[in-house]
Amino acid sequence: MSDASTRRLMKELSQLQGEAPQGIIVDKTSTSNDLNTAYGHTARPYAIAIHPHQNLIFTGGIEQTLFCWKFDDEKIQLIRKTVLSIGVIRKITVTDDLKLFVSSQDGNIIEMDTAVPAEQVLIDEKILNFAHVNENFAVLSTKNELIVYDSDSMDKILFRCGGIRHMSSSEESLVAWNNNTVVFFDGKNVYRLKLSINIISATCHLSFICVKTIDGFIQVYKMKTPGEVKLVKRFRPSNPSMIPSVFSVLQEKEEVEEKILVFGSTHGEIFHGNLKDSGVVTSLTRKDSYQCFGGKEVTCIEPIPGTCSFMTLGKMGLWCTMTISDGEMQVLNTRSFTSSSRMAWPSKFLNVNGERLIAGFYEVRERRKSLDREDRTRRLVRV
């Protein structure tokens, strides 16, 4: 990237910091024209959830209103708004059977049936966080108690554990912790792990958990058979303030056992390392990450199946494609979503009918970008 391009990008990034994304748009990466634009939000959204099989997107935020959007290959439209009484919406989760769980910053949570949005059931727990994992519903209450319910019967408790103060989750699993104790749940099995030193943060992906402890070390564990936990990587990053915000595992071919672990940090750094050895490489320093993430948190890492390439999103709204070859990482492209705008947080990747999309916000529109394999490959070749 030239000096002039870098200066122009940094100027755009600084301008974005004062903007408040408020709505939704749909377009393809293979063209510069929007497929369709839909308007709805009048204030900052904080949460987004997607039901890909029903082509539904649910959003909410400051307005204390749940927005439901319907999309297809040609258009996206706002089909329903439901005013809620729980306050500012902070998190939304939708299940396969179209149940919605919505929480507020005040610790209230509502269970809803999307077919009858006016019917609201308030779960009798003040919560800090919640997650839906493999047809089970987990709640971290303000009483520092982790409770896992059967989603089909919220009065049936499958598991509970006291003395837990923090929780993080992915679509496939969750990790909860306090002091030096870690609890991991993959939807079927519960794993407990007690470390010799207190934990600062933890995050999870599939059967892996990534833990940072107060001595500055980052440790990655793999949950194997029930009761069996294996430490697969332990390292101290060159930046002692680095905290992993998200991570993923790349595997070029299913028949090849070699896997690469990729981390994104709260400051925009990227790290990677082969799971077979203990080494970890700083792929993208905090200084270099300003071109991709503006020094802000990496929020999504999406592997490209069958390759050592992956896509990233961050809180500054730029979409990046990166690849790892011979142990070195290369940024293939850093893109905004049109010539004049960027996707802002919250945003996420999703797969719909074999097509990879991105859903997120900018101003009063939501943008959905097509990342189909053919187009992605063509872009990688051009780069």
Query: What mean pLDDT comes out for the span 166-171?
Result: 89
Quick one: average pLDDT of 359-375?
A: 49
DSSP calls for 78-130: EEEEEE-SS-SEEEEEE-TT-EEEEEETTS-EEEEETTEEEEEEE-S--EEEE
pLDDT tens digits, residue range 208-261? 999 999 998 999 998 887 778 888 888 888 777 888 888 888 887 665 567 888
pLDDT of residue 188: 84
Band of the pLDDT at 6, cuts 50, 70, 90? very low
Contact by Cβ (8 Å): 342, 318:
yes
Measure the CA angle with vertex 123, ends 117 and 127; round to 5°.
115
Whole-prediction pTM value? 0.75
Query: What confidence category does residue 43 fall into, taking pLDDT thresholds of 50, 70 and 90?
Result: confident
In angstroms, the CA 343 to CA 191 distance is: 37
The Cα–Cα gap between 110 and 95 comes to 14
What is the per-residue pLDDT across 69-78, written as a single tens digit (0 to 9) for each? 888 777 778 8
AA identity, residue 328: E
Sheet holding 229-235, edge to edge: 199-205, 208-213, 218-223, 229-235
